[in-house]
Structure 1
Amino acid sequence: MARPHAVVVPYPGSGNINPALQLAKLLHGHGVYITFVNTEHNHRRIVAAKGAAAVRGRDRFRFEAIPDGMADADRDVGDYDLALSVATSNLCAAPLRELMARLDAAAGEDGGVPPVTCVVCTALMSFATDVARELGLPTMVMWGGSAASLMTHMRIWELRERGYIPLKGSQQLHQSQRPHPQHLRRTRGRAEYARIYTIGPLGTLLNHAAADAIGGGLSLWKQGTECLAWLDTQQPRSAVYVNFGSLTVMTPERLAEFAWGIAATGRLPVLVCWRTSCLVARPQFVVETDGRRCLATWCSQEQVLRHPAVGCFLTHSGWNSKCESVASGVPMVCWPVFADQYINRKYACKSWDVGLRLDEEVRREQVTAQVKQVMESEEMRQDAARWKAKAEQAAGLGGSSYKNLQSMVEVIRSFASDSKKAEA
């Protein structure tokens, strides 16, 4: 029987890399040979953060790296994320094409590596679909956001034609709030997919799967275990976890409001995993939270959220964070910054009843009040527990996500069979 071989190409940001790695692990557990493609820059960062073993791979699971087209001097620019998106879109196709050729050449040499039979990329890596089409390979695109944001992107051209876009007053929007259309232009006319597989939460699916042979996530930052050890010393549901993600930029004024809002929560233990140097530079915050805080540059968020000591998550409302918090049964205080985070907040606060919102111009008094309300609300805790149970049910044997994953694997296997027939 032909063996399926998927080349997984995530956008080079932690919010894309880790979900793609989780999906790759799930596919690997179902017999799919995986080649996971990082950028060379991120490959070096991962090795520096976790050691060479993190990217050594295992049987039928290998890591490869391609250049992202950016010079090191360009990584400190103010619009780095936009520059990275443009560079990968314009300059990564040729290196990926060369990698695919090397993989197929290796398959012909010893037979240990099966020929590539499909490409799985995250949505921002649309160039990978172009390369796959050139090589006659099918593509699956991983959408890491909500269904609502997917529908918006799929209908973006229709919304333009009907006059909803550009938004009225959009000239007043900050750059982070404006749509980034480059990958939309590249994929225009390809927005209607024959199949959509709703799979998740990915971490919960992995917990239901066999033992993880590939190791933990691929962190771009050095992760310590001190925060988990600190949580072990706290009472159940007593601690507030604070993390605004890897891309959030905050003014000193807003940072001060959050710092003093957190400090004023009384005796609540606080775990902050976000640019802690900014907080350490505020001596009074250090004094006010002495004996009840833990500051970490980065941490394993899923492990933190699943820890019984965590009772509230102060979050930027990224979709990964939302899913991980819901799957862990932890209610939230939400302060979105850009992209789909605003609609994610609406889900948490209005649809699921597991969150409270903060105003965009955040005030310390509101931070204190909302955090305390979440920590004290038994009703919100019960709602969060119900959503956690739903996530477990979906990921468990016979659940909707479980079935959709099986269906996706069967399609990937069929790609390999079709490829074998074509060779014959």
Structure 2
Amino acid sequence: MASPAASKPHVVLIPYPAQGHVTPFLRLAKALHARSFHVTFVHTEFNRARLLRSRGADGLRFEAIPDGLPPPDHPAELDATQDIWAICEATRRTGPGHVRALVEGLGRDGGVPPVSFVVADGAMGFAVHVTKEMGIPTYLFFTDSACGLLAYLNFDQLVKRGYVPLKDESCLTNGYQDTRLDWVAGMIAGVRLRDLPTFIRTTDPDDVMLNITMKQRELDAPAADGILLNTFDGLERAALDAIRARLPNTIAVGPLGPEVSPPSYLPSLASSLWREDGRCAAWLDAHADAAVVYANFGSITVMARAQVGEFARGLAAAGAPFLWVIRPDMVRDAGDGDGDGETTPLLPEGFEEEVVASGRGLMVGWCDQEAVLGHRATGAFLSHCGWNSTVESLAAGVPMLCWPFFSEQVTNCRYACEEWGVGVEMARDAGRREVEAAVREVMGRGEKAAAMRRKAAAAVAPGGSSRRNLESLFAEIAGGVRAVNPV
């Protein structure tokens, strides 16, 4: 007779080692744990060191694998986002062996059930080939939007049709990026080359990110037993239908949030790679409903001090109180000295006295974004349009000022502004006047944002499309449990 441990489903989750990927994976982990699955959550050793305060719970454990990169040269890099290009190349090159060793080790550990199911990040898609060889059912969880994934799935066509690689650097500035791509099935009308993920903006046919991205979508995704997306049918139906034409078992399970895994459930298991500032809630409490502009450019965006200054002046001129997250590693040239030990101030002279000290603004290094967006005082979100930020904003009913940085953020921006009507786009070189004007304009998008909030809530409510999909996934995992003891 099989032991209770042997019959309990054991799901291994392998996120890509960046904040925007860890967050939805941990929400999925909590949802699985709440339904009595045994869960192993796999960080890289670098990120595990940043999350030492997280504690496992009965049935939920953390493991770590090497990321293939050398140790950081400078202490400041120990708490900074790693280079995306380098980490993608290194994990794809070294990761398969580490994943195999980890799963084999779990299979020999008598203290946990044998591994019966794996969910790997789409950006860690190499894992699917390893785990499928071991006889373990495996899904890939792409943390992109559906429209972003659909764009990536058409990278091969962009290459075959001669759009990519670019002929030369002039194609970035001569209007070529405005080329319409009406042949991309499932995308909104009028989509342009500039609206597709920025990894195609290369003149090098051997570009690392271009080629890795195509491998993830052309080789890894079709090998998986299914694809998960943190979105919902009522938001991206056309894109989802187009994806399902190529990857039939694609299921929308979002927005993964409090309805699926409440904040009160295992609260010690935080996903944040930075320490959150605890002043935000009290500061927001002191402001009127929908009065505050929340600004956060995510975990990867980097800015020059001059750009920070323009945003600071624009936010101040708009007149609305604002809560602004400036990561410790966001401004790479902040604090550069002039050789005499002095550092250059990050904010314009007199700004803190004029705005921050008066209570009109609060600057923090990191925050609980979901709590901020859900606060009654938050009336707009100045965002880089990463998918977590976008879907959290939609779920909270908060309109967006869109300033995309890279990857499919530009695609999300296009949809937020043109398809969903909840956003106002700002140019990459937006100055203080453009920022001020955009803040004033976005405050009028609340009605459309509220309608989107209702749709998102319906998707994850009992009987909603995403809730049904999640329950079907859980049933599949539970029904397919079997002892997988790798040799």
**TM-score between the two structures when normalised by the length of structure 2:** 0.77
- Kept in 1: contact 2:298–2:386 (CA 8 A): yes
Q: Judge which range, 394-403 or 93-102, deviates more.
A: 93-102
The unaligned stretches of length 5 or more in structure 1 are none
Is the counterpart of residue 358 in structure 1 residue 426 in structure 2?
yes
Query: Relative to total residues, which structure has the larger helix share, 1 or 2?
Result: 1
Q: 1:100 Cα deviation (Å)?
A: 1.1
**Shift of residue 359 of structure 1?**
1.4
Distance in 1 separating the partners of 2:167 and 2:470 = 41
Structure 1 residues 210 and 341, CA gap change in structure 2 (3 angstroms): closer
How far the C-alpha of 1:146 sits from its partner, in A, is 1.3
CA distance in 1, matches of 2:282, 2:298: 22
What's the % identity of the aligned pairs?
A: 38
**Aligned match of 1:184:** 214
- Structure 1 vs Structure 2 CA RMSD: 2.6
Equivalent pairs counted in the alignment come to 405
Question: Is the CA contact 2:312–2:347 (under 8 Å) kept in the aligned structure 1?
Answer: no
Answer yes or no: is 1:300 the counterpart of 2:368.
yes
Amino acid at match of 1:233: A
Q: What residue in structure 2 maps to residue 257 of structure 1?
A: 310
Q: Mapping of 1:16-415 within 5 angstroms?
A: 16-47=21-52, 51=53, 54=54, 56-73=55-72, 80-106=83-109, 109=110, 112-167=111-166, 172-173=171-172, 177-179=198-200, 180=209, 181-185=211-215, 188-192=218-222, 193-206=247-260, 212-213=265-266, 215-266=268-319, 268-275=320-327, 280-289=346-355, 290-291=357-358, 292-375=360-443, 377=444, 380-415=445-480
CA distance in structure 1 between the aligned counterparts of 2:363 and 2:220, rounded to whole angstroms:
45
Checking the alignment, whether the CA contact within 8 Å between 1:74 and 1:80 is kept in structure 2 is no
Rounded Cα–Cα distance in structure 2 between residues aligned with 1:187 and 1:136? 22
* Aligned counterparts of 1:354 and 1:139: Cα–Cα separation in 2: 35
- 1:54-108 deviations in Å (ceiling 9; x for gaps): 1x211111111112122223575998221122111112222222221221111xx
Contact kept, 8 Å, 2:397 with 2:450, in 1: the verdict is yes
Q: Deviations over 1:151-208 (max 9, x none)?
A: 222333234223343356567559x93241225336634444341110111014325x
Q: CA contact under 8 A between 1:170 and 1:178: conserved in structure 2?
A: no
Kindly provide the amino acid, as one letter, of the partner of residue 356 in structure 1: V
Given that 1:6 and 1:119 are in contact with CA atoms closer than 8 Å, whether structure 2 keeps it comes out as: yes
**Matched residue of 2:350: which SS?**
helix
When residues 114 and 331 of structure 1 are mapped into structure 2, their CA distance, relative to the original with a 3 A threshold, is same
**Runs (5+) with no aligned partner, structure 2:** 174-196, 201-208, 223-246, 335-344
Quote the Cα distance in structure 2 between the aligned partners of 1:211 and 1:235: 26
Change (3 A) 1:134 1:170: farther
Counterpart code for 1:300: D
Supply the distance in 1 between the matched residues of 2:437 and 2:66 (Cα, whole angstroms): 47
Q: Which has the higher mean CA deviation after the structures are superposed, 325-334 or 179-188?
A: 179-188
Q: 1:115 to 1:225 in 2, by over 3 A?
A: same
Q: Give the conservation status (yes or no) of the 8 Å contact 1:126–1:183.
A: no
Deviations 1:318-352, CA, capped at 9 Å, x for gaps: 11100000101111111111111111111111111
Deviation track 1:9-63 (CA, whole Å, cap 9, x = no partner) reads 001100000111111111222232110001111111112xxx2xx1x21111111
Q: Which amino acid counterpart does residue 425 of structure 2 have in structure 1?
A: R
Contact kept, 8 Å, 2:384 with 2:409, in 1: the verdict is yes
* Whole-Å separation in 2 of the counterparts to 1:166 and 1:351: 28
Whether the 8 Å CA contact 2:122–2:221 is kept in 1: the answer is: no
Structure 2 residue aligned with 1:9:
14
Secondary structure of 2:43's partner? Answer: strand
Corresponding residue SS for 2:302: coil
Distance 2:167 2:432 in 1: 32
| Contact map agreement 2:140 2:221 (CA 8 A) in 1 | no
Cα distance in 2 between the residues matched to 1:374 and 1:210:
29
SS in 2 for 1:84: helix
The AA in structure 1 aligned to 2:112 is V
